[in-house]
Structure 1
């Protein structure tokens, strides 16, 4: 169920970004798609810290930080902050030695949604700004 919701949310965010967004929104959407595909290739079973997914998440965090620093919009800061918190789930998993696979996986998935919602909100605001500036 959750993978279907994640794919639907990613699809909606990317559709909106590519149809209505500017360069920042399209770049973030492309990064999200690439990160999702690579994460699917490198993930295992969450019985230990997923180093491949950790690397993907930190690369995405770096990209969002660069976007936030160069962009004239606010949403990349929120997306980077949510991605940072999601990346901290990996760090927390390194301290836990018990059977935590479910909590670890849910923590990673949970923080991916606010990142995508930040992109959707940013796309909506960008499209609205362009529409209002046409008048």
Structure 2
């Protein structure tokens, strides 16, 4: 049920951002969708048990964090920083398993999955605020040039 709920939220938030967002929102939606697709492929190809650090998922999460960090550095928005922090929390869950290998697999899985929900909600809120700025100002600069 948790996976279905997450995928429905992913579809809604990414579709909303792709349809109504500016360039940063559309890029973030693509990054998240690609990371989820890659995670599903890794999960279907290998056996993901969350009994030890899952190297494939760590690599995907790290790549997503780097991509979102690059977006946060260039975008004229604050929300990419918050989204990057959410993904960073998910990465901390992986390091917790290395520090405490006896951690219960369900706790590791939930900790990993938990960071995705706020990231999606942040993306939707960022898209909503972009639309409001467009309506109010007629323009919303996507990139910072400083």
Tell me the TM-score normalised to structure 1 length. 0.95
Where is the helix percentage greater, Structure 1 or Structure 2?
1
User: Map of 1:1-135 to 2, 5 A cutoff?
Assistant: 1-43=1-43, 44-98=48-102, 100-134=104-138
Does the CA contact (< 8 Å) of 2:97 and 2:103 recur in 1?
A: no
Task: State the distance in 1 between where 2:99 and 2:38 align.
Answer: 25
Structure 2 stretches lacking a partner, 5+ long = 140-146
Which secondary structure does the structure 1 equivalent of 2:115 belong to? helix
CA RMSD of aligned residues (A): 1.3
Tell me the TM-score normalised to structure 2 length. 0.88
How far 1:99 sits from its partner (Å)? 5.3
Range that drifts further, 61-70 or 42-51 = 42-51
Structure 1 stretches lacking a partner, 5+ long = none
Task: State the distance in 2 between where 1:130 and 1:58 align.
Answer: 33
| Deviations 1:22-67, CA, capped at 9 Å, x for gaps | 0000001011111001011113121211110000000000011001
Equivalences, count: 135
How far 1:18 sits from its partner (Å)? 0.9
How far 1:134 sits from its partner (Å)? 3.3
> Which aligned runs of 4 or more in structure 1 are off by greater than 2 angstroms?
none
